[in-house]
Structure 1
Amino acid sequence: MNEPIVRLTTSSTVYDRIRDDILAGSLAPGLKLRIEFVCERYGTGASPVREALNRLSSEGLVERRDQRGFYVSQVSLAQLAELVKTRCWLEGIAVRESILHRTVAWEEGVVLAFHRLSRTPRSLDPASYSFNPDWEERHREFHHALIANCGSSWLLGFCRDMRDQADRYRRLAAARVYPARQGPDEHREIMDAAIDGEVERTVELLQRHYQKTLTIIETDFAVAVD
């Protein structure tokens, strides 16, 4: 009777682990995800793996090719540019609504999220880039806190999915661009504007923040190809 529940739990666990590895770049873009390889890597059976890969395919992180199996989705600057443009549109709406309907609890949440982010080192090694999962989590929490008061779970879901995709590109470039952009100044500016109720300035700063990330990644990709 409990077998479907166990399979669902196993599938969710495998999904989380594959997803994290794709976002972190441990599973490289274009890599073929052979069922046997994935089963061995994550120590599980074929059924949970297929369920997890199909779920990731529906989210765009994995590509399913007819008669050829599953692959980690490729990355491209054109896709990233479109992603950033759309993210600026939607998060602009979300942060505007959050500020217009701001509450004390929302303001405290933004301040607390920024405090935690600013107290967490970007890299585990100050001399060179070393992935810090705590910083990544604090970073996600800060950007979520900014828009959390928008009043739309649909909008928050769309923003979350775009954030996941954007994080993938950012992490792929992180090792080469560190430490050019590790300080909290941009996030502090955005927080201050939001808490002060400066709607248009907050939207502008947030969009500039994402556009700067795009420019850095575009430059990094160009250097990597040369």
Structure 2
Amino acid sequence: MAELHDIPKPEGKPTIAGQTEAKLRHDILHGTLAPGTKLNLDKLRETMGVGLSPLREAVTRLVSDGLLEVAAQRGYSVTPVSVANLDEVGALRIELEPYALRQAIANGGLEWETAVMGALYRLNKTDRIAGNSDSLAQWEAANEAFHYTLIARCDMPLLLKMYRSLVSLSGRYRHIYLKTATVQRDVQAEHTAIAQAAVERRADEAAALLSQHIRNSTSNLRRLIVADLPAQPPHATSETAPQDDI
């Protein structure tokens, strides 16, 4: 059965469309292109120095990932952020990732166990300093690598594709709202508990811990989003005002 060498690795030199997609993806995920921003393809083409064809290919990929929206007669725009969207992304992750982890625990061998603990060690040794963009980027990369390594041996390409899309969407919220916020919970302890339960083949416990970890992250981001929303007008009712169920 396949082992971790089957995890997709970067291929050769990226195409112009691939480079353009990567740049736009970075700017969307990090808030440089703010949620709701309309994209002028002609101006983007000039600014980025690319042809219209690779640019259209790049934005089409980002639409499929949910980072851009397209509407007839209105063109492309950066997908808005919202409590409802974050809740949906979190709910889908809670459904998919614990299932993928169970499959990885069943399929993975010693190489997978070693990779999980190696990814955990790297993540726990990576500082996340509020307001420091370099440390935040390094921590995000280590965090994504850890979570992907946990479920990589599920051996389900379609599930992993959906997972990557959901991680991109949830990652955008972290990049935007955690730039200056201080995380109040012990994330390192959460990651360690998940990894140890996984490699020790305690599948039920590992899945439950991962679900709670995603729930904690979503709840914390939800509070930040609600706090950042415009104040509701005096006539707003409890049915229309944003609610925080945490």
TM-score, reference length from structure 1: 0.89
The alpha-carbon deviation at position 85 of structure 1 amounts to 1.0
Structure 1 match to 2:7: none
The alpha-carbon deviation at position 182 of structure 1 amounts to 7.1
Q: Secondary structure at the match of 1:96?
A: helix
- Distance in 1, matches of 2:23 and 2:179, equals 21
- Distance in 1, matches of 2:66 and 2:107, equals 33
The alpha-carbon deviation at position 147 of structure 1 amounts to 0.4
Unaligned stretches of 5+ residues in structure 1: 1-7
- Distance in 2, matches of 1:80 and 1:192, equals 28
Q: Secondary structure at the match of 2:128?
A: coil
CA contact (8 A) 1:35 1:49 kept: yes
Quick one: structure 1 residues 104 and 32, their matched pair in 2 at CA, closer, same or farther if it must change by over 3 Å?
A: same
Structure 2 match to 1:99: 105
Would you identify which runs of 4 or more consecutive aligned residues in structure 1 move more than 4 Å?
Answer: none
- Distance in 2, matches of 1:62 and 1:195, equals 37
Listed as ranges, the matches of 1:1-226 within 5 Å are 9-123=15-129, 128-131=131-134, 132-181=136-185, 183-225=187-229, 226=231
- Distance in 1, matches of 2:46 and 2:53, equals 13
Q: Which range is displaced more, 36-45 or 61-70?
A: 36-45
Q: Secondary structure at the match of 1:122?
A: coil
Structure 1 match to 2:243: none
Structure 2 match to 1:5: none
- Distance in 1, matches of 2:223 and 2:132, equals 18
1:187 partner amino acid: H
Q: Secondary structure at the match of 1:71?
A: strand
Quick one: structure 1 residues 183 and 95, their matched pair in 2 at CA, closer, same or farther if it must change by over 3 Å?
A: closer
- Distance in 2, matches of 1:162 and 1:177, equals 22
Q: Secondary structure at the match of 1:116?
A: helix
1:147 partner amino acid: I
CA contact (8 A) 2:82 2:225 kept: no
The alpha-carbon deviation at position 109 of structure 1 amounts to 0.5
CA contact (8 A) 1:122 1:182 kept: no
Deviation per CA, 1:76-119: give whole Å up to 9, x if none. Answer: 11121111111111111100111123310000010011111111
- Distance in 1, matches of 2:47 and 2:192, equals 40
Deviation per CA, 1:173-201: give whole Å up to 9, x if none. Answer: 11242243575221111111111111111
The percentage of aligned residue pairs carrying the same residue is 34
TM-score, reference length from structure 2: 0.82
* Higher helix fraction (1 or 2): 1
CA contact (8 A) 2:83 2:226 kept: no
Deviation per CA, 1:122-171: give whole Å up to 9, x if none. Answer: 13xx6x34353222211111001100111211211111111111111122
Structure 1 match to 2:9: none
1:166 partner amino acid: S
- Distance in 1, matches of 2:212 and 2:53, equals 44
CA contact (8 A) 2:38 2:76 kept: yes
- Distance in 1, matches of 2:44 and 2:186, equals 34
